[in-house]
C-alpha cells in the first residue's frame, strides 16, 4: 500500500511540473466524456428507456391514413367501430389536449388539460396515488363533473392536502370535483395537469370526418404489432367503403414509444454518432499526447532502469500517472455532462418528448469513463516498457532528443494522426451539410413579408361550455 501511495504522490508531483500537458489532457478527456454522456443520456431517456407503464411493449398508438399516407387523428364514430371490431386489441381509448384556465386552487392558473375517454386509464393500467379513479358514471353526459389532477398540480395549487373532500376547480362555467391525484411518475400526455372525462363536456360526435382524437390501445398478449396493423387496416378500409364522408383510406399501428419519438429520433441518432466520433477523437488525442510525453521522459526512465528500477516498477509509475489524468478528466467530464444535459433540455424545451425521464445516465457515464481510462492506462505501458529494454546506452547517448522515438512508436503516432484527421473530416462535413440545409430552410419564401409581424395563440371557449 505504501508503494502505491508513493507512486501516486510521485505521479501528482510529476504532472504538476507539466501543467500545460496535464490541463490539456484532462480537458480533452473531460470534453469527450461530458459530451458523450450528455447526448447518450438524452438518447437513453427518450429512445431507449421503457415507458413507465405495465407491459409497455403492448401499448400502441392508432392513426388513420389519408390517401397520401399522411397520419391523422381519429373521428369518434370510427373509433367506436375499431373498438367493437378489433379482436387483437385488449382495450382502446382516445384523448385530446387543450389549454384551460383553472380557478379554485391557491391562485388561478392556465394549464394543460386532457379530455379522455372512459378506458384511458385502463389501457395504461395506472391508478391514482390519492383518491379514487374516474368511474364509468363520471363519463356519462350530465354527470357531476369530476377530474383527476397531476401530482405536481396537487402540490403547487392544492397545497398537497391529502383530504380531497370539497376540493373544486372551476373552468369555463364548470365546477369540477377533484376525485384523485395521479402518481408522481405519471405524466401522459406530456405536461398534462388535469384529466377530464370526455362524456361530461361533449356528446358523441356523429361526424366521420372530424379527426379530433388521438387513440391509444393495449394489444392482447402474444399479439404482434404487424398483426394488429393488418386487422385495423381491414376495418378502416371497410369503413371508407361504407361511408361517403370518411376521408381516411387506411389505418396504421405504431408502438407507443416509437410514436412519441418519431420526430426527434433522427436528430438524436445523428447527435449520438457525432459525439461517439468526438469521444474517439478525444481518446486518440490523449494517446498522442501520452506518447509525446513518453518521448520526453525516455532518458529519465532509462537512467532509473540503469540504476536498478525493475520493468514492473517503471510501468506501474507510468500507469499511475495515466490513471490520475483519466480520473481527473472523468470528474470534470461528469460535471460537464450534468451541465450539458440541463442545457440540452433548456434548448429543446417543448421539442424533446419524455424530458422528465432525462438525467445523467450512470451506465453511459461509466462506459465513457472506462473507455477513457483503458485508453490512458494502455498508453501508460509504452514508456515503462520501452525504458526497460536492454539497449539503454543508445537512449543515454541520444540525450532525450525528440528524434529518439523508435520507428514503431512513430508508426503508432502517425496512425493516430491519420485517424484523428479522418474522424474530424467526417464531423466537419456533417456539420457543413447540416448548416447548409438549415440555411436553405431559413431562406424559403413564406409568401408574405415577415418584418413587423407577430404570431398570437388564442384559446377560445368551446361552444358547449356553460355560460
**DSSP characters over 240-283:** HHH-TT----EEEEEEHHHHHHTTTHHHHHHHHHHHHHHHHHHH
Tell me how far apart the alpha carbons of residues 237 and 62 are, in angstroms, rounded to a whole number.
14
Tell me how far apart the alpha carbons of residues 304 and 314 are, in angstroms, rounded to a whole number.
8
pLDDT digits over 259-308, tens only?
888 777 887 787 778 777 777 777 777 777 777 776 666 666 666 666 66
| Mean pLDDT of the region 331-343 | 86
Average pLDDT, rounded, for the chain:
80
Residue 400, pLDDT score: 45
Residue 210, pLDDT score: 87
pLDDT digits over 34-61, tens only?
888 888 888 888 888 888 889 999 999 9
pLDDT digits over 155-187, tens only?
988 888 889 888 889 887 788 899 999 999 898
Q: Compute the 3-state secondary structure of the chain and give helix, strand, coil in percent, each to the nearest 5.
A: 55, 15, 30
More confident residue, 341 or 127: 127
Cα separation values, 133 from 56, 125, 149, 152, 185, Å: 21, 11, 11, 17, 16
Residue 61, pLDDT score: 94
Which of left, alpha, beta for 433 (phi over 0: left; psi -120 to 50: alpha)? alpha
* Residue 323 banded pLDDT, cuts 50, 70, 90: confident
* Residue 465 banded pLDDT, cuts 50, 70, 90: very low
Cα separation values, 440 from 268, 430, 436, 445, Å: 21, 15, 6, 10
pLDDT digits over 82-140, tens only?
999 999 999 999 999 988 888 877 778 888 899 999 999 999 999 999 999 999 998 88
Residue 367, pLDDT score: 78
Contact 298, 387 (CB under 8 A): yes
* Residue 65 banded pLDDT, cuts 50, 70, 90: very high
Closest Cα to residue 90, out of 220, 252, 215? 220
All cell numbers assigned to 405: 522515438
Residue 58, pLDDT score: 94
- Of 95-104, 386-395, 437-446, the poorest mean pLDDT is in 386-395
Residue 268, pLDDT score: 79
What pTM was estimated for this model as a whole?
Answer: 0.71
Q: Is residue 463 over pLDDT 60?
A: no
Tell me how far apart the alpha carbons of residues 220 and 232 are, in angstroms, rounded to a whole number.
14
More confident residue, 308 or 67: 67
Residue 76, pLDDT score: 92
Task: Give the rounded distance of the alpha carbon of 25 from its chain centre.
Answer: 29
* Residue 442 banded pLDDT, cuts 50, 70, 90: low
Contact 149, 194 (CB under 8 A): yes
Which of 247-261, 277-291, 379-393 tops mean pLDDT?
Answer: 247-261
- Of 288-297, 422-431, 434-443, the poorest mean pLDDT is in 434-443
Q: Is residue 321 over pLDDT 90?
A: no
Cα-based torsion angle of the residue sequence 63, 69, 75, 80 in order, rounded to the nearest 10 degrees = -60
Closest Cα to residue 32, out of 286, 269, 270? 286
The pLDDT > 90 percentage for the chain reads: 24
Q: Is residue 386 over pLDDT 60?
A: no
* Residue 63 banded pLDDT, cuts 50, 70, 90: very high
Residue 390, pLDDT score: 46
Q: Which residues does 279 contact at the CB level (< 8 Å), separation at least 6?
A: 32, 33, 35, 36, 368, 371, 372
Amino acid at each position: 500500500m505504501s508503494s502505491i501511495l508513493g507512486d501516486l504522490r510521485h505521479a501528482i508531483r510529476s504532472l504538476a511540473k507539466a501543467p500545460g500537458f496535464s490541463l490539456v489532457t484532462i480537458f480533452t478527456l473531460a470534453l469527450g466524456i461530458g459530451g458523450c454522456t450528455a447526448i447518450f443520456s438524452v438518447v437513453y431517456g427518450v429512445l431507449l428507456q421503457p415507458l413507465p407503464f405495465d407491459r409497455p411493449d403492448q401499448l400502441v398508438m392508432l392513426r388513420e391514413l389519408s390517401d397520401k399516407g399522411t397520419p391523422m387523428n381519429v373521428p369518434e364514430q370510427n373509433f367506436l367501430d375499431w373498438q367493437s371490431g378489433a379482436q387483437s386489441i385488449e382495450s382502446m381509448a382516445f384523448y385530446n389536449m387543450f389549454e384551460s384556465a383553472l380557478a379554485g386552487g391557491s391562485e388561478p392558473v392556465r394549464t394543460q388539460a386532457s379530455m379522455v375517454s372512459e378506458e384511458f386509464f385502463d389501457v395504461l393500467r395506472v391508478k391514482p396515488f390519492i383518491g379514487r379513479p374516474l368511474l364509468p358514471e363520471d363519463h356519462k353526459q350530465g354527470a357531476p363533473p369530476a377530474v383527476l389532477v397531476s401530482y405536481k398540480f396537487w402540490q403547487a395549487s392544492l397545497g398537497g392536502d391529502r383530504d380531497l373532500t370539497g376540493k373544486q376547480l372551476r373552468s369555463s362555467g364548470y365546477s369540477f370535483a377533484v376525485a384523485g391525484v395521479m402518481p408522481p411518475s405519471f405524466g401522459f400526455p406530456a405536461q398534462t395537469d388535469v384529466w377530464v372525462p370526455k362524456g361530461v363536456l361533449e356528446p358523441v360526435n356523429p361526424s366521420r370526418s372530424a379527426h379530433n382524437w388521438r387513440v391509444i390501445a393495449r394489444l392482447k398478449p402474444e399479439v404482434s404489432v404487424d398483426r394488429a396493423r393488418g386487422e385495423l387496416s381491414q376495418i378502416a378500409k371497410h369503413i371508407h367503403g361504407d361511408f361517403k364522408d370518411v376521408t381516411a383510406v387506411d389505418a396504421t399501428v405504431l408502438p407507443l414509444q416509437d410514436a412519441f419519438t418519431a420526430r426527434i429520433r433522427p436528430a438524436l441518432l445523428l447527435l449520438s454518432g457525432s459525439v461517439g466520433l468526438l469521444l474517439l477523437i478525444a481518446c486518440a488525442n490523449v494517446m498522442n499526447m501520452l506518447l509525446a510525453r513518453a518521448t520526453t521522459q525516455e532518458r529519465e526512465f532509462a537512467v532509473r532502469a540503469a540504476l536498478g528500477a525493475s520493468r514492473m516498477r517503471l510501468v506501474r509509475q507510468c500507469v499511475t500517472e495515466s490513471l490520475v489524468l483519466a480520473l481527473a478528466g472523468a470528474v470534470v467530464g461528469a460535471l460537464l455532462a450534468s451541465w450539458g444535459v440541463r442545457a440540452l433540455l433548456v434548448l429543446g424545451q417543448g421539442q424533446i418528448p419524455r424530458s422528465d425521464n432525462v438525467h445523467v445516465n450512470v451506465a453511459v457515464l461509466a462506459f465513457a469513463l472506462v473507455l477513457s481510462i483503458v485508453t490512458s492506462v494502455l498508453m501508460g505501458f509504452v514508456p515503462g516498457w520501452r525504458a526497460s529494454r536492454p539497449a539503454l546506452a543508445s537512449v543515454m547517448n541520444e540525450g532525450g532528443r525528440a528524434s529518439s522515438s523508435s520507428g514503431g512508436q512513430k508508426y503508432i503516432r502517425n496512425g493516430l494522426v491519420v485517424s484523428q484527421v479522418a474522424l474530424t473530416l467526417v464531423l466537419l462535413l456533417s456539420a457543413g451539410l447540416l448548416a447548409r440545409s438549415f440555411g436553405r430552410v431559413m431562406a424559403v419564401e413564406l409568401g408574405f413579408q415577415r418584418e413587423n409581424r407577430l404570431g398570437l395563440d388564442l384559446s377560445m371557449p368551446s361552444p358547449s361550455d356553460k355560460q
